[in-house]
Structure 1
Amino acid sequence: MPNQTIENIVTAIHYLEAHLTEKNDLDTVADALHYSKYHLHRMFTNTVGMTIHEYVLRRRLTEAAKLLVFSDKPVLDIALTAGYESQQAFTKIFTAMYKQPPSKYRENEKFYPLQLKFELEGSYHMLNSYGDPAWNITYAKDGDIPCWMELVRLVIDGFPYLDEKDYMQVLRRSIAERQALILKDGRTAIGILLFSRETGSIDFMGTHPLYKKKGIPKAFLDKVMHELLDGKEISITTYREGDRADTGHRMEIKDLGFAEAELLVEYGYPTQRFVLPKEEPHA
């Protein structure tokens, strides 16, 4: 991906964040940035993994959720601040995305983001390599935690109800137990995976959006299957079918060969478990 494309996306993100509560349809943003709207749509969607409309929607609701937990503002005021014309319209979309109405979310006093500001900092040397490189996936170390968390924040849309404080405790423990894998391009984490040797579950798998067409999830799975969890049933959980909050993670899991298993509720959030069928032994 050319550096110019990344710079253009950063410019678009800065504009969207500065005008988050204003009208932010494709025509408005394209005119403000002097881009072709078709080019902007394709470039933004391919890089960020969602349309401008989806990004703005998720960012507005995330900021609204923050106000629900950390302020005493009435729900109507928060709805208007988030760009909705009525409390009813706000409640409908908030409930669809957060799986509970704003009043209930406020009572729980537990903030989690649907979408954080999309940050594209760092150098991406491997982006210009042709084909899928021989990825050097290693065990993560404590010194990798900052770049690991940068990637977590970038792919937060795939992990409902993620609390950073709780997650950090799990991450440190997983690193100590050699159950955390990382792939880096220089100092930038471009792939991360938490797994359990005991259960065979993949507890977190994230790929940097800029590298999503480079075969990284498959490289992680191959390493886990053939080196670390050989013979174990490998499972992962993700969104249920039809969840409006899903930006494509369920389809990515299925494309990797995972098969649907039982429905679950994790931290109060409806999810579904997927299982990777075991490979048949070679004759």
Structure 2
Amino acid sequence: MENKTICVNAVVDYVESHLDGKIELEMIAEAVHYSKYHLHRLFAETVGMTVHDYVQRRQLTEAAKLLIFSDKPILEIAFQCGYESQQSFSAAFKSMYKLPPAAYRNNQNFYPLQLRFPLCRNISILEPAKQNIRLAELADIPAWMDLMRLSIDGYPMMDETVYLKKLKGSILEKRALVLKDGNILIAAMAFTYAPGSIEFFGIHPQYHSCGIQKLFLNTLLETYLPRQEISTTTFRVNDKADLGHRKRLIQLGFVEKERLTEFGYPTQRFVFTPPKKEEGHIHEK
């Protein structure tokens, strides 16, 4: 575990120091003294995305920041963020932010796709239990917001002021759940009672393999939304900003429904229909 932590931290440090140029896996591997294959595997297992995806998201975030907070020409920003042409930069930017760079600049609304990855060094939960999930409190808001920024994959239309107001309402109305590993908030969910829906569900990337998705769904079905149909929205198929949200919903038993546009972002609704009453509760496999 310690070696993995050292390796991932070294990669993150290298990327952060070279955001203003072209970054390739071979360059990082040589700098941190790991084979590129070993580095690729460890990083993906820990961070939940490949080194290439992490680099692209960090550089596009820096590009978005420059588009909003500087007057630099788009071509200069493209070169500064590791792209060889304005055309390749514009294509990559639009695939993530859903707007070409010029239109994004005109909107004057910055939101990061990817912040520096904060590695948790001491992961202790291997089999989290439902009794550890509790209703959120107002004191949990700062940690919740940090988790939201880390797990939402940079929804580029996010307005944190609006989100914070909705979050406070969810907590006061007892529609928000959290799970901690020691002092680390590792999962959070906001939901509605009628109709039953999941408004937000974020899990720290290092905990995706711990069965937390199923644990929260079981908690909803057994305690808060018994025998109710549950809906939620996520990325559309082939959206390059998606780091696995669709796949995890499908694995839980959610079914694709209609396509939507929420706050200017293309999404799709998914629905989970619980088993009939006589079939009993859903159990962990």
Length-normalised TM-score, structure 1: 0.93
Number of matched pairs: 278
Distance in structure 2 (CA, Å) of the matches to 1:273 and 1:6: 36
Distance in structure 2 (CA, Å) of the matches to 1:113 and 1:51: 18
Deviation (angstroms), 1:121 = 4.5
Distance in structure 2 (CA, Å) of the matches to 1:143 and 1:7: 32
| Aligned AA (1:72) | D
1:232-243, aligned counterparts within 5 Å? 232-243=228-239
Q: Which residue does 1:223 correspond to in 2?
A: 219
Structure 2: segments with no counterpart, 5+ residues: 280-285
Q: Which residue does 1:157 correspond to in 2?
A: 153
Distance in structure 1 (CA, Å) of the matches to 2:148 and 2:19: 22
Deviation (angstroms), 1:191 = 0.9
Deviation (angstroms), 1:17 = 0.8
Deviation (angstroms), 1:156 = 3.0
| Aligned AA (2:37) | Y
Deviation readout 1:200-255 (Å, 9 max, x if unpaired): 11011111111111100111011111210113220111110111211221111111
Q: Which residue does 2:208 correspond to in 1?
A: 212
1:268-279, aligned counterparts within 5 Å? 268-279=264-275
CA contact (8 A) 1:182 1:192 kept: yes
Q: Which residue does 1:88 correspond to in 2?
A: 87
Q: Which residue does 1:69 correspond to in 2?
A: 68
Give 2:129's match in structure 1, choosing from 113, 130, 134. 134
| Aligned AA (1:141) | E
Q: Which moved more, 1:161-170 or 1:222-231?
A: 161-170
Deviation (angstroms), 1:199 = 2.3
4+ long deviations beyond 3 Å: none
CA contact (8 A) 1:25 1:53 kept: yes
Deviation (angstroms), 1:163 = 2.6
| Aligned AA (1:12) | V
Distance in structure 1 (CA, Å) of the matches to 2:20 and 2:38: 24
Distance in structure 1 (CA, Å) of the matches to 2:42 and 2:121: 19
| Aligned AA (1:275) | V
Distance in structure 1 (CA, Å) of the matches to 2:154 and 2:98: 15
RMSD: 1.6
Deviation (angstroms), 1:96 = 1.5
Deviation (angstroms), 1:166 = 2.2
Secondary structure, aligned partner of 1:45: helix
Deviation readout 1:77-96 (Å, 9 max, x if unpaired): 21111111221211111112
CA contact (8 A) 1:200 1:235 kept: yes
Distance in structure 2 (CA, Å) of the matches to 1:21 and 1:158: 20
CA contact (8 A) 1:179 1:196 kept: yes
Distance in structure 1 (CA, Å) of the matches to 2:233 and 2:52: 26
CA contact (8 A) 1:233 1:275 kept: yes
Distance in structure 1 (CA, Å) of the matches to 2:90 and 2:10: 31
Deviation (angstroms), 1:162 = 2.3
* 2:246 is the counterpart of 1:246: no
CA contact (8 A) 2:227 2:277 kept: no
Deviation readout 1:66-114 (Å, 9 max, x if unpaired): 1112222221121111111221211111112111111111111111221
- Structure 1 pair 160–251 and aligned structure 2 pair: CA distance change class (3 A): farther
Give 1:145's match in structure 2, choosing from 132, 141, 145. 141
Q: Which residue does 2:27 correspond to in 1?
A: 28
Distance in structure 1 (CA, Å) of the matches to 2:156 and 2:221: 26
Deviation readout 1:33-57 (Å, 9 max, x if unpaired): 0012111100001111111111111
Secondary structure, aligned partner of 2:270: strand
- Structure 1 pair 199–122 and aligned structure 2 pair: CA distance change class (3 A): farther
| Aligned AA (1:91) | S
Q: Which moved more, 1:153-162 or 1:84-93?
A: 153-162
Distance in structure 2 (CA, Å) of the matches to 1:85 and 1:218: 43
Secondary structure, aligned partner of 1:213: helix
Q: Which moved more, 1:53-62 or 1:113-122?
A: 113-122
| Aligned AA (1:110) | N
Secondary structure, aligned partner of 2:186: strand
